[in-house]
A = this chain, B = another copy of it.
């Protein structure tokens, strides 16, 4: 195999398993080459991907070491993605009345959710999280794609306890988005006590759902180490949670003029 064939294959393999550590010997076995050769191949792949804004290929030292691909959005790419989301949302055909916007096409579009997830993965990469938690239904693609980029499992909180979830813990909470009391339920099998979770959701008004997820997790002795939200409503001003990072803010939705106020969160990378 020529170097150009090996670099194509290394690039493919690390792209398919972001976050995963590959020992050099893994590639030596595939190619039947020496470690020094693989090491040079990896340098070529790193140079090429990093020069074109495709994230980082980092070296993990020590036993169990190797290379790990982190295809996260840097601040420039993040702003592109935030603007892409703003542009998609800013369309009066999305207006459903009562200030609601139709967003399912965006949230269930794999390319869109992957892009948004690249921002969250970059934000939460250093949190040592063990899982990404969301609540059904529209946050699932964002959570799943974030988990994919971080090489973590996803945990989905359900609205109703189900037989197929085994023993569950449930709470009731007030949802400002739904304007009523709602239930949520987590499977005890889904998380390990003592572990660390990132919460991801597609939309947040007052933060009741995310606060509820935090309470469920705390019942299971799981610590929340990051909160990412696709779209955060500006109202109500007082939120039930702090420390959340929205991609964009949704302000006024005015049906008479067709105006939708949506702006990127320019502070998304700042310490909070």
Cβ contact of A96, chosen from B47, B100, B141, B163, cutoff 8 A: B163
Query: In chain A between 138 and 153, which residues have their CB closer than 8 angstroms to a CB of chain B?
Result: 138, 140-141, 144-145, 147-148, 151, 153
Of the 9-residue stretches A3-11, A80-88, A247-255, which lies at the interface with chain B? A3-11
- CB pair A156–B108 under 8 Å, yes or no, is yes
Question: Does A217 sit within 8 A of B, measured CB to CB?
Answer: no
Q: How many residues of A contact B (CB 8 A)?
A: 62
Of the 9-residue stretches A12-20, A59-67, A206-214, A261-269, which lies at the interface with chain B? A12-20
- CB pair B148–A114 under 8 Å, yes or no, is yes
Inside 8 A of A166's CB, which chain B residues have their CB? Answer: 96, 102
- CB pair A12–B9 under 8 Å, yes or no, is no
- The distance in angstroms between the C-alpha atoms of A6 and B44, with both chains bound, is 10
Residue of B whose beta carbon sits closest to that of A177: B164
Query: In chain A between 107 and 159, which residues have their CB closer than 8 angstroms to a CB of chain B?
Result: 108-111, 113-114, 136-138, 140-141, 144-145, 147-148, 151, 153-156, 158
Question: Does A236 sit within 8 A of B, measured CB to CB?
Answer: no
- CB pair B48–A111 under 8 Å, yes or no, is no
Cβ contact of A105, chosen from B9, B17, B110, B189, cutoff 8 A: B189
Binding site of A, secondary structure by majority: helix, strand, loop or mixed?
helix
Residue of B whose beta carbon sits closest to that of A55: B12
Write the A88-113 contact mask toward B (1 if CB under 8 angstroms, else 0).
00000000111011111100111101
Question: Does A181 sit within 8 A of B, measured CB to CB?
Answer: no
- CB pair A12–B190 under 8 Å, yes or no, is no
Residue of B whose beta carbon sits closest to that of A42: B8
Inside 8 A of A156's CB, which chain B residues have their CB? Answer: 104, 108, 137-138
Question: Does A52 sit within 8 A of B, measured CB to CB?
Answer: yes
Question: Does A187 sit within 8 A of B, measured CB to CB?
Answer: yes
Inside 8 A of A136's CB, which chain B residues have their CB? Answer: 136-137
Inside 8 A of A144's CB, which chain B residues have their CB? Answer: 108, 110, 113, 140-141, 144
Question: Does A45 sit within 8 A of B, measured CB to CB?
Answer: yes
A and B contact pairs by CB, cutoff 8 A, 7 listed: A5-B48, A15-B15, A102-B187, A105-B153, A108-B156, A109-B153, A110-B148
Question: 8 other contacts beyond A8-B8, A110-B153, with CB at 8 A cut-off?
Answer: A5-B47, A8-B10, A9-B49, A101-B164, A104-B189, A105-B189, A136-B137, A138-B156
